[in-house]
Amino acid sequence: MRIAVVGCVLLCGCRSVPPVTRPAASAETLFAAPTIPRADFDVVPAELGDAGVLQRIKHRVRLRQIGAAWVREQGEALARSHGGVAASVLPVLGETAHKIRVVSDDDDARLALWVDRGDAMLTVLAPVELADEVGHTAPTAGVWIEPGIALDAPRGAGPWREVHVQDEQLAVDGWLPHSLIGHVWVATARQPAVTKLAKSTVWTPPRDPRPLVKLAKGAVIRVEPDPHSRAVATTIADDVIGSVVARRGAWTEVELFRPQLRARGVVATASVLATTDEISTHGSGSGHGFGMSHADRIEVSAGACLFDAVDGEVVGVQLAPSTRYGSLRRRDADGWSLVFVDSPWALLELYVHDTGSDPDHPSWELCTKPSGP
């Protein structure tokens, strides 16, 4: 009796796919969950001016929009002076149940700010092939996605969630375990290291020696050369470009590359419009600035610590020498001055600290080590 109970617990606890409700196609196999990469949060805001620091930050998040933000996790929300849609992938210094601490470069400063988790896109936490509704995948046909891809994933009961890939050219639906879906991921070895936080990004498909073809809008990419076989993706834009894997008369095997996505399968040859040498790219960008009257001009040196308050915590580092608007009139006996730093979320009131003895020639407290021997 005791053996029977233990066996039941082991079998029930190890089930990782939904119950099979129809026979699997001979070419398809059970879903195999990948290992989710893990890493510690080991960079603090005072290190954000260090050489190579962005490569040390392993965690990333993709923002859905510029919404609420906080300088301190438990502080007051920033008064928004900007706002709108943002598709930026940003490094992450930490996270809580409701907020994510992101790194942003703007206005000659690199800052650590808390944003609302609801402003972040869902993504997959490890490279994986999307499964069908009963937990099957095909070894040579399907859609493979990587961390950073934007997903919609309605909540539901059970261990699996249906996901919808956000892409301008392809409609892709599939299923993943709940454990593989989240907001903050660890960059994989296949993803390039962050070297700078640019205002714009451009994606270029990988080089491919195979013939390129355009697919008609509405072309359905299937697992097998059968109009009743499972669809893995559908084109939703005109002249989507793919590579020819093989030609099979009424069917053509193709492979398509999109940001953080690879799709492979067969389409009706009638949906293949023409051969092309074109490739597609994707980019986005934004910018902003500000002016201010009746404010002091304060020369801030590169490497200066940026504090959230007088005698407060470091929340960023000055990246390059600049003249900032601010208020020397708020300087007190301990050498603190208010400076304004712009960000995609709001105009921030931060502080620099003079550690020198000459008020007319301030020596700002540095968060970077001096160069030289």
- Going by pLDDT thresholds of 50, 70 and 90, the confidence category of residue 13 is very low
User: Is the four-CA dihedral 172, 175, 180, 182 of positive or negative sign?
Assistant: positive
Task: Give the single-character DSSP code of 99.
Answer: E
Selected residue with higher pLDDT from 21 and 190: 190
235-248: pLDDT as tens digits: 999 989 999 999 98
Q: Computed over its alpha carbons, how large is the radius of gyration of the chain? A: 26
39-93: pLDDT as tens digits: 999 999 999 999 999 989 999 999 988 888 999 999 899 866 655 666 588 999 9
Q: What is the largest CA-CA distance in the chain?
A: 86
Q: Are 127 and 176 in contact (CB under 8 A)?
A: no
- Mean pLDDT, residues 268-283: 75
Task: Write down the pLDDT at residue 30.
Answer: 84
Can you read off the two tokens belonging to residue 123?
């993504």
Task: Write down the pLDDT at residue 183.
Answer: 97
Q: How far apart are CA 146 and CA 312, in angstroms?
A: 39
Task: Write down the pLDDT at residue 334.
Answer: 84
Q: Kindly report the length of the chain.
A: 373
- Mean pLDDT, residues 303-322: 96
pTM: 0.83
- Going by pLDDT thresholds of 50, 70 and 90, the confidence category of residue 157 is confident
Task: Write down the pLDDT at residue 42.
Answer: 94
Range of weakest confidence among 130-139, 190-199, 291-300: 190-199
